[in-house]
Amino acid sequence: MLFLNELSFAKEMDEKDELKPFRSKFYIPQHNGKDQIYLCGNSLGLQPKSAKDAIDQELKDWAELGVEGHFRGKNPWMYYHHFLTEKAARVVGALPKEVVIMNNLTANLHLMMVSFYKPTKERYKIMMEVSAFPSDQYAMETQARFHGLNPDDAIIELKPREGESTLRTEDILAKIEENKESLAIVMMGGVNYLTGQAFDMKSITEKAHAVGANVGFDLAHAAGNLNLKLHEWGPDFAVWCSYKYLNSGPGGTSGVFVHERHANNPDLVRFAGWWGHEESSRFQMKKGFIPMEGAVGWQLSNAQIFPMAIHKASLEIFDEAGIENLSKKSELLTGYLYFILADFKEHLNVITPETAADRGCQLSIIVKEDGKKLFDYLESNGILPDWREPNVIRMSPIPLYNTFEEVYEIGVALKSFFENK
């Protein structure tokens, strides 16, 4: 694609964009009476206008039916997770029985580690990327301790080569090979939150399995962003949150993938709760846990209707747009931002890989001087990226609601900042 740094070009791209009508399904935050250029969808996705009706429906059923809403509500609460499964499975490229929506992300990560990290004397190491999201670091650290291990010994961190910012797939695979005797599990992000690098999940999964290790991915920055093929790639598990690219509100619910090959294994160790028990006999309230088949067998508690109602509304939008279409537009939209930023090479470095296959929506930028000043300047001019200590500005144009014209405007603002510096 040949990009041009011209307003008319950006407008033409928006005109041709078949996903353009989706922007009107979201509330866009305002700045001085105008739409803000919102680039933080990787952190908290914008509110779908349909979220309110979704919540109101459940409030209404609760008001009118009380406990009977579990069975007589429009969307009976007893089966609520079922209403999200198929759409969520399409977003991550999984079979419906491999997916369940429940809890929050970090809690689900721990639940999955209980089932898929079973260290032995020989095979006990966890491999993850350096500078993983802190919650994941704390989770892996405390998982190691939970099994009586020293995290410094049990955790292998994948580090970029000297002078590079992102990991090379060949180096990840070599590190797996190097630790083939002692590696119990590879648990890493699908997209790293800081650099925006998307990892080659297919190759990593194949390699880890070839040496006898399990694989899990934290897809917080990948779900709703990349065109994932979880079933085909075959990791043992994956977890993700719903409030970043999936636009399901602050602290929203989370998704879990458990590959089909484990789905019907009742012997897999897990921390169980009543909602994971056989649905048909759940209310007989008997002793003896019998897990349901599939990812649903990991559920603990009855569904959190309100966050799940928002997630349901949001997934309907994804279903309508189609994750493949979104990912195609995202390549162009973020590709355009890459192109615009290239004019400012003397002032900033983009550390996210340029190749579309190695990234998603987000670009991470290191500004050579006065990064924080630039961030403040953009913010006061109606452009909202985010700032990650010590020196990273992240910008994530979102194919559902950002436009090519907005990306063009980022270039205009950068130009005026650097000219007047």
Q: At residue 191, what are phi and psi to the nearest 5 degrees?
A: -130, 130
The least distance separating ligand PLP from the CB of residue 252, rounded to whole angstroms, comes to 8
The least distance separating ligand PLP from the CB of residue 42, rounded to whole angstroms, comes to 8
Scanning the structure block, which residue is given the tokens 């509304």?
A: 313
- Give the per-residue SS3 of 299-339: CCCCCCHHHHHHHHHHHHHHHHHCHHHHHHHHHHHHHHHHH
3 vs 243 by CB, closer to ligand PLP = 243
Bridge partner list, 34: 31
Which residues make up the interface to ligand PLP (CB under 6 A)?
A: 104-106, 133, 135-136, 189, 193, 218, 220-221, 241
Our separate counts of H helices and E strands in the chain read 15, 15
The least distance separating ligand PLP from the CB of residue 69, rounded to whole angstroms, comes to 27
The answer to whether 421 and 351 are in contact (CB under 8 A) is no
151 vs 322 by CB, closer to ligand PLP = 151
Pairing of strands 363-367, 392-395: antiparallel
190 vs 397 by CB, closer to ligand PLP = 190
69 vs 189 by CB, closer to ligand PLP = 189
The least distance separating ligand PLP from the CB of residue 377, rounded to whole angstroms, comes to 27
75 vs 108 by CB, closer to ligand PLP = 108
218 vs 236 by CB, closer to ligand PLP = 218
Angle 286-287-289 (CA atoms, 0-180°, nearest 5)?
Answer: 105
Q: Is the peptide bond before 390 cis (omega within 30 degrees of 0)?
A: yes
Measured distance CA(302)–CA(162) in Å, rounded: 49
